[in-house]
Amino acid sequence: MKTLKPLNLLLIFLLELAVLAAACSWGFARDARWLVRILLGVGAPAALAVVWGLCGAPDARYKTRGAVRVLFEVAWFGSGAAALAAVGWTGAALVFAVVAVVSKALAVLWRQ
C-alpha cells in the first residue's frame, strides 16, 4: 500500500498530461487546412493548460473544491476521452476513461 499511493499520484499526473496530448492529436487530426490544424493542434492543449493552471493545479489561483472540483475533473478527463474518441481511437478513449475513474476513486479513498 505504501508504494501504491505514490504510484497512483504519478498515474494521475500522467493522465493529466495525456489529456493535453489527446487534445493535440484531436487538433492535428481535423479535416481542415494545414493552418487550422496547426492552430487547433497547438491551441487546444494550450487553452486546456491555461484552464488547468488557473483552476486545477495544486497552487491554482482559482482552486476548485468539493462538488465543483469533481465537476472540473469530470470535464477535464472527459475532454481527454472525448478527444481520443473524436480521433477514432474509441478503445483508447474507453481505457483512458476507466483508468482515470479508478485512479481518481483511489485518490479520494486514500485522501490524496
3-47 per-position pLDDT tens digit = 999 999 999 999 999 999 999 999 999 999 999 999 999 999 999
DSSP-H helix ranges across the chain? 4-28, 34-51, 66-87, 90-109
pLDDT of 1 reads 80
| Cα atoms found within 13 Å of the Cα of residue 8, Cβ hemisphere only | 18
Angle at 18 between CA 89 and CA 65, to 5 degrees: 120
Please, are residues 49 and 20 in contact by the beta-carbon 8 Å criterion? yes
